[in-house]
C-alpha cells in the first residue's frame, strides 16, 4: 500500500513538472518544508513561497525547453510510522533530446493519516545516490 501511494505522489510530482503546473507541484509538499541544493537552502512556509520558488524553477525548465523528465532509479524505505525516505535519480531532457540536468534527490515524505507529502528534499550529484531497502517502480 505504501509503495502505491509513493508511486502516485511522485508520478503526480513528475507530471506537474512536465506541465509546469504550479498548483500540481505545490500540493505534493507539506508546508512548511525545505528544499536543499548544493547552492542554497530554501524554507517554504506558505503557499506563496511555494508558488514563487517553483515559478522560478519552471522558468529555468522552460528556458531549457524541457521535453521529458525521466526517473532512472528510485527506491524507498520506511523510517517510522509517519516518515518515508525516498531516493530518485532524475534525468531532465531538453528540446533536442539531450540530458541537460541529471541528479539524485533524497526526499523525506510525511504520512499524515494516509496523505503523503514531501517535507524535505535534498538534491545532489548522481554519485551521492542511495539504494534504499525497497525499489520504487515506475
Query: 86-129, pLDDT tens digit by residue?
Result: 999 999 999 999 999 999 999 999 999 999 999 999 999 999 99
Q: Candidates 3.40.605.10, 3.40.50.150, 2.60.40.10, 3.10.450.50; correct CATH number of 2-135?
A: 3.10.450.50
Pair 22, 55: CB distance under 8 Å: yes
User: Which helix or strand (DSSP H or E) is residue 62 part of?
Assistant: helix 47-63
What is the reported pLDDT for 137? 87
| Portion of the chain with pLDDT greater than 90, in percent | 94
* Rounded CA separation 49/43 (Å): 8
| Portion of the chain with pLDDT greater than 70, in percent | 99
Is the pTM of the predicted complex or chain greater than 0.75?
A: yes
**pLDDT surpassing 70 at residue 77:** yes
* Rounded CA separation 96/115 (Å): 37
Mean pLDDT, all residues of the chain: 95
The long-range contacts involving 50-58, CB below 8 angstroms and separated by at least 24 positions, are 50/22, 50/25, 50/26, 51/22, 51/26, 54/22, 54/25, 54/26, 55/22, 58/17, 58/20, 58/22
Three-class DSSP category at 6: helix
Band (pLDDT 50/70/90 cuts) for residue 2 is: confident
**pLDDT surpassing 70 at residue 1:** no
From residue 101, alpha-carbon distances to 5, 26, 58, 84, 98 in Å are 27, 22, 14, 25, 9
What is the reported pLDDT for 31? 96
DSSP state letters, 91-106: EEE-TTS-EEEEEEEE
| Residue labelled with grid coordinates 517553483 | 54
Amino acid at each position: 500500500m505504501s509503495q502505491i501511494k509513493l508511486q502516485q505522489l511522485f508520478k503526480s510530482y513528475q507530471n506537474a513538472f512536465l506541465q509546469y503546473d504550479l498548483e500540481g507541484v505545490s500540493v505534493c509538499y507539506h508546508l512548511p518544508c525545505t528544499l536543499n541544493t548544493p547552492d542554497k537552502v530554501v524554507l517554504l512556509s506558505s503557499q506563496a513561497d511555494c508558488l514563487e520558488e517553483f515559478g522560478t524553477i519552471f522558468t529555468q525548465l522552460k528556458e531549457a525547453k524541457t521535453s521529458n523528465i525521466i526517473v532512472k532509479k528510485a527506491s524507498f524505505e520506511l523510517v517510522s510510522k509517519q516518515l518515508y525516505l525516498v531516493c530518485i535519480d532524475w534525468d531532465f531532457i531538453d528540446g533536442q533530446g539531450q540530458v541537460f540536468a541529471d541528479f539524485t534527490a533524497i526526499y523525506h515524505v510525511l504520512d499524515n493519516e494516509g496523505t503523503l507529502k514531501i517535507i524535505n528534499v535534498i538534491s545532489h550529484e548522481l554519485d551521492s545516490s542511495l539504494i534504499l531497502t525497497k525499489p520504487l517502480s515506475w
